[in-house]
Amino acid sequence: MKTIGLIGGMSWESSVVYYKIINQKVKAILGGVHSCQSLMYSVDFGEIAELQHQGDWSKLGELMADAAQRLERGGADFIILCTNTMHKLSDKIEDSVKIPLIHIADVTAEAIKQKDMKKVALLGTKFTMEQDFLKGRLNKIHGIETIIPNEEQRTTIHRIIYEELVKGIIKEDSRTAYLEIINDLIQKGAEGVILGCTEIGLLITNEFTDAILFDTTEIHAIKAVEMALT
Give the integer Cα–Cα distance in Å for 25 and 3: 15
Is-catalytic flag, 36?
no
Helix axes 216-228, 104-114, angle to 10 degrees: 100
Which of 83, 85, 125, 146 is catalytic? The answer is 83
**Distinct helix (H) and strand (E) counts, the chain:** 10, 7
At 141, phi and psi to the nearest 5? -90, -35
End-to-end CA distance of the chain: 8
Is-catalytic flag, 197?
yes
Q: Are 57 and 90 in contact (CB under 8 A)?
A: no
Q: Strand, coil or helix: what is 10?
A: coil
The β-bridge partners of 122 are 194
- DSSP letter string over 139-186? HHHH--EEE---HHHHHHHHHHHHHTGGGT---HHHHHHHHHHHHHHH
The 119-123 sheet, strands edge to edge: 145-147, 119-123, 192-195, 213-215
Which of 146, 197, 216, 217 is catalytic? The answer is 197
- Which residues are the active-site residues? 83, 197
